[in-house]
Chains A and B, each alone.
Chain A
Amino acid sequence: MNVASGQLSREQAIRETVYRSCMALDAEDFSAFLDLCAPDLEYTVTAFSPEIRKEMIWLEQDLEGMRALLEMVPQHLKRLGTLKRHVSVYLIDDGNDGIAKVTSSFIVTHTDPQGRSQLFVAGTYCDEVDCRGERFLLRKRNAHLETRDLGIGSHIPI
C-alpha cells in the first residue's frame, strides 16, 4: 500500500514513506519496497572507520542496481531469521522544492529461527522524500551505521 498525499497530512505522509520503506524491507517484500522508491533513487550504507580514519561506503545503489540486488537475494545463502528496523523520525525539513529531508534514528534487531533476538545494528537514516507527485517516494537514503561489527553481515540493505 502506498501513501497518497491527499489522504494524510503532509508531514504524516512523509513519515509513513520512511516507515513503510522499512516495513517492506523487514518483510523482505522487495517489490513493495521498490514501489516506494523514486526513479532517481540513491541508496547508500556508510560508516566511519576510526581505525583508518576514513568514511566508507559499504553499499551504493541506484534504483536499477537495487532492483537487481534484491532480485538475487533469494538465490544467496543468507543469515537465517528476520531483521526488524525500529525507526524514530527526529527531524523533517520540508523544503520549498517539494523534497523533504528526513533524519531518523534506527536500530535493527535480528531474530533467529529459534526466536532469540539481539541488536544487529544502530545508526541514522538521512532520507529525502520526493513529495512532488501524487505519491510520496523515497528518493535518497543514507544509512549511516554506528555499529561496524556486523557479525556475518547481511545480503539485505539496512
Chain B
Amino acid sequence: MSARNAEAWRTLPNVPPTHVVSGEVYTDHGIFVAEKERIFGRCWHLACHESELPNTYDFRTFDYVGTPLIAVRGRDGIIRTFINVCSHRGAKIIHEPAGNAERLTCFYHLWSYDDRGACVDMPRPEAYHGVGLTKEDCGLREVRTEAFLGLVFINMDDDAPDLTGYLDGALDSFAPVLGSGELEVFHYNQSILHANWKAWQETNLDLYHEWMHVLLRRTQMKAASMESRVVKALKNGHTAAGGLKASYEMYKGMAKRDTDMALPGLVPDDFFFADIWPNVAILARGTAIRIDVVIPIDEQTMLVEWRGLGRKGDTAEQRRLRMRHHNQYWGPFGRNVPEDAFASEACEAGFRGGAAAYQILAREENGAGQDDGMMRAWYAEWSRRTGRSAAQPTAAVAAE
C-alpha cells in the first residue's frame, strides 16, 4: 500500500462504525454546545474529596463548565454546593480556592448567606419592603450534592437519577481503599491543556498508548502478562481495568515499593483504574491514588485537575515517600503525565484544522491486553447521550 489521496484519506476505514470516531467530535461547535447541555448539564461530576473540607464551615470553590460553584461543609456535617454568585447583582461571591467562613458575604453590597444557602443579611433591607422583596426570596441556588466513598459529586440537573444508581458499582474495586475513611488529598494541581476535553479522557482509556511511555515500557508492560489484564465496560459508560502490575525497580532511580506503604486494601505493585463517565479517572498504584477530572472550556481547551491521595496518619517521612511515589509517575515533573499531556495536544493539532479525519478504536483482545473496549464503551455512552454517531456526528441527530 502507498500513501492515500484526499478522498481515501477522508473515507472511514472498513471497520464497524463503533470502532472509529470522527474528528468532528473534537472541533464542531454544535457538538460542544450539545455536550455542555446533554452531558455536563446532566451527569454527576466529581467536585472534590471529603478531606478537602474537614471542618465545619470549610469551603472549596471551583468552576464547572463556566459556572462558579462553592461546596460548604455545614453545621450538620453535610457538604452542600451552591452556585457561587450573589442573588443581588450576580457577582461571584467567594474568590479564594478554599477557606473557612460561617457566612458567605458578597464583597459588593455585603449580602450574606449561611451554610444552607439562605440569605441571612442584606444592609438596609427596608428599601425593598415596598416592592415586597425579602431575604427569604434571595437564597443561593443549591446544586445537588452527594458523597460516595469520600468522593463528593455534584449534578446541575435537579431531576437526575441519584448518584448510587448512576455509578452502579463502577467503583467496587476501589471500595476497600476509598471507603476506608483513612485517605486524604495530599496533592492538587490543575492545568489548562490545549486540546478538546475528550482527548484527556481517551489517554486514560487507551491502554495501547503505554508504548509511548518509556516508564511503562520498563515497569509495566512486562510485569504481568497481557492476558492477565481485565478490561471491563460497565453500565452508564463507566469502565475499569485491572490485573496490571508494576516492577518499579526496572526504571533507573526508582525502587520497589514496600508493603508497609500500601494503602488499605491495596497491594504495592498492583495497578488498576476506573473511569467514571464522562470525565473522571481514578488510578491506584498500591501506595498512592490519582484522581483526574477534566472540564471543557471550549472545543479546543480543557482544564485538568489532578489529585493525589494518601493515608491521613502518615508520618512526615512516610508522606515524603508517598509524594515521591505519586510524583515519579504523575506529578508535573513526573515521567508519565507530562507525556500524556503532550499526546493530547498533539492530537488536537491533528484534528483542529481537519487534517486528521478520524481516529481508530479497533483493537480487539477479548477484554485483555491493550483492547480498545473501554474507549468504544465510552463513545457508545457519548452517542446515547448526544444522540449522535461518533463515526458521523454531524449527520442526523436522534431526538432525546
Contacts and interface: CB of A to CB of B under 8 A. Distances in A.
B341 A152 contact: yes
A156 to B, nearest CB: 8
Interface stretch (B74-82, B128-136, B326-334): B326-334
Chain B interface category by residue count:
35 or more
A96 interface: no
Contacts of A56: 186-189, 323
B327 A59 contact: yes
Interface stretch (B190-198, B269-277, B278-286, B384-392): B190-198
A152 B191 contact: yes
Contacts of B193: 151-152
Interface stretch (A4-12, A70-78, A122-130): A70-78
A137 B320 CA distance: 25
29 contacts: A49-B187, A52-B52, A52-B98, A52-B187, A54-B185, A54-B188, A56-B323, A57-B323, A58-B331, A59-B331, A60-B324, A72-B251, A72-B252, A72-B335, A76-B215, A77-B342, A78-B338, A79-B338, A79-B342, A148-B190, A149-B189, A149-B191, A149-B192, A150-B332, A151-B192, A151-B193, A151-B341, A152-B345, A153-B332
Contacts of A71: 252
B333 A155 contact: yes
B253 interface: yes
Interface of A: 45, 47, 49-54, 56-60, 64-65, 68-69, 71-72, 75-79, 148-155, 157-158
Contact of A153 (B60, B190, B192, B333): B333
Contacts, number: 104
B332 A76 contact: no
Nearest to A69: B253
B52 A151 contact: no
Contact of A51 (B60, B214, B334, B343): B60
B254 to A, nearest CB: 8
A64 B252 CA distance: 10
Contacts of A158: 333
Contacts of A157: 333
B125 interface: no
B253 to A, nearest CB: 3
A56 B343 CA distance: 26
A49 B305 CA distance: 12
Nearest to B58: A53
B189 A47 contact: yes
